[in-house]
Amino acid sequence: MVRLRFLGYYTEVVGARELEVRVGRARVEDVVRLPGVPRDEPIILVNGRPARWCDEVTDADVVVVMPPLGGG
């Protein structure tokens, strides 16, 4: 199962800090959009590395979704 971890306001959007989803093989976008994450340019890491919407994930992966960072 793909383990999805949510940080920041995405925990409120999804209603959980972590979910597990069985996908076999899928694109990052397909997995992240399942629990209702809007496509507003979150930062996505797959197994600790930056990922794009079109990258492939499998049931062994950990996907972290966090809001864009900002500051000044």
Phi, psi of 10 (to 5 degrees): -65, -25
DSSP, residue by residue, 2-15: EEEEE-TTHHHHHT
Residue of higher predicted confidence among 72 and 12 = 12
71 has a pLDDT exceeding 80: no
Taken in order of first residue, the domains within the chain and their CATH numbers are 2-66 (3.10.20.30)
pLDDT digits (tens, 9 = 90+) for 29-44: 999 988 888 877 899 9
Average pLDDT along the chain: 92
pLDDT at residue 62 tops 70? yes
Two tokens, residue 30: 């397909």
Residue 52: predicted pLDDT: 94
Model's pTM, two decimal places? 0.90
